[in-house]
Each structure stands twice: as structure tokens, then as C-alpha cells.
Amino acid sequence: MHQSILRTLQLGLKNLMLHKLRSTLATLGIVLGVGSVIVMLAVGEAARFEAVQQIKQLGAVNIIVRSVKPAKEAQGRSMTGQVLRYGLTVADLDRIVSTIPTVVSATPIRESRQEVRYADQKVEARLVAVTPNFLDLNGLKMHRGRFPNELDNERFDNVAVLAADTAETLFPVDDPIGRSVLIGGQQFYRVVGVTQRRAPSAGIGSSLAAQDYNRDVYIPFATDRVRFGKVLVYERAGTFETEELEISQITVLVDQTEHVRKTAEIIAGLIDQFHKEK
């Protein structure tokens, strides 16, 4: 038996040596075939991992409720005088937190486009008014400094956190921490932190397009309400537009993944009761 196996191996090796080109091509084919399968599996796994990471960033137990600006044909019905009124309110936030038992917490934000300046540098940024739990619920991390806290909100402090690209644009050389930036041409805000760079996430901005978190500026929610008020004024094409918007978005944290869909339905019904416009 042993000699038979040895004899078979000898014949096989001899046959390979007699047909070197054919043997080389066969070996190359096996190597390339196995390598291609490994590469395809690796690409598929990488795509799956990226998708899972994006879902984790959004939060598997998060529900995002957005204020949507009315279409132009519907704006006339939503305007009182020359002010366009729409969107979520602080009362909506209170009702969601206090009446739905599956809701653990909720964080509001209000967005506006504002010019942010430091010395000769300026950037058109998304100004985001936030509460302290916004950082965790939206998967953001601090690169330096700190995020606005409860004390900042209680005192209506003029403090700001810059996103990565905003910080680089305004402070290409200087350290931004402790410096003051001018927001909206109205008030100076002391920079207390800079967030880490983060890949854009789809569906979390003012539209369904990917939201670039790297060009944001974050200030305390209460400070925004006091400094800018309910009515926001924008200049577009030489004309001024005014909008009354209390809350742009509410991110709701649900206690269990199984309760997310049902909680979303309850929230939708709750909001519809107090908003005649869709």
C-alpha cells in the first residue's frame, strides 16, 4: 500500500515535469480562481460592514422626526402676514416624551444657515442648536474640548463647538479652543470644542441628500432660542424671507428595537392631531 502511494506520486511528478507549460497554467488558474473568490467575499464583507456601521451611527433604536418646509404652492396657506410658519414645536417634543411609555429620551435641534467668521476667515455653515444628549444619539465624537452641557443651556451661554471642516477653514493655523467666532453677524461665541471628522449620513439633513456633519457649528438649544428667536430671516436673490420654526428635528430614543415601528406610528398619529398641515 505504501509503495503504491509512493509510485503514484512519482508518476504524478514525472507527468508534471514532462508538461511544464500545462502544469504552470493549471496551477495559475487554480491560484487566480481561489484568489478571485477571496477578493469577492472580502468586497462583499466590506460593503456589509459599512452598511452596518451607518445603521449603528443612525441608531437602531432611534426614530428621526423631521420638519419639512411646505411646497411653494402650499406656503401661502401657512403664512401669516409675511412669516412662513411650519414644522415641529416644543409642545410636540413635550407630548412625545411625556405620553409615550416606550420613549426613553428625545433630543431636539434647530437648524439655520449662518455665516460664521473669525478674523478674515468665513464659512457658510449649518448652525445647529442642540441639547447635550445630541452627541450620543447622533454618533458624534469629540476631537478636542467638550460639547455644550446642561449648564450652558441653563445660563444661555454663548459657546460653540466647531465641526472638523469648519474648524480647519476658520483656523488654518491657530488653535480654535478658547477663541471667539462671530455667528450670523450678531453675537460672538466662545469655541469650547471640535468634533471628530465623520462620514456623511443619508437622510439626516434638511433633505434626503447626505448630511455632511463636518461643516456644522453647534450651540446650546436654549441659547439659540434667546439669541435668534423663533423667527429666522434669510436673504435670497436680493429678497428677505422670514420663517417661524421652533424645532427642525427630534431624535427619539426607544427602549427596544422591537418597539421602534409601533412607536413611530404613535408619534405620527400624535403629531397629526396638532398639525392641520401634513
Confidence of residue 153 (pLDDT cuts 50, 70, 90): very high
Which class for 257: exposed (0-12), middle (13-18), buried (19 or more C-beta within 10 A)?
exposed
Beta bridge partners of 122: 117
Q: Which residue has the higher pLDDT, 108 or 1?
A: 108
- Listed in order, strand segments (DSSP E) in the chain are 62-66, 79-80, 83-85, 103-118, 121-130, 142-145, 159-162, 180-183, 187-195, 216-220, 231-236, 239-244, 249-254
Write down the H helix ranges in 145-184. 150-155, 164-170
Angstrom distance (rounded) from CA 168 to CA 175: 10
Least confident window among 32-36, 127-131, 171-175, 220-224: 32-36
Band the pLDDT of 207: cuts 50, 70, 90. Answer: very low
Q: What is the pLDDT of residues 128-143, one digit of tens each?
A: 999 998 988 887 899 9
Question: Per residue in 54-105, pLDDT tens?
Answer: 665 666 788 999 988 887 655 555 555 578 888 999 999 999 999 999 999 9
Least confident of 44-58, 77-91, 159-173: 44-58
Identify the residue with better confidence: 46 or 96.
Answer: 96
* Residue 257 scores a pLDDT above 90: no
Per-residue pLDDT, 224: 94
Q: Mean pLDDT over residues 29-58, rounded?
A: 79
- Amino acid 236: pLDDT: 65
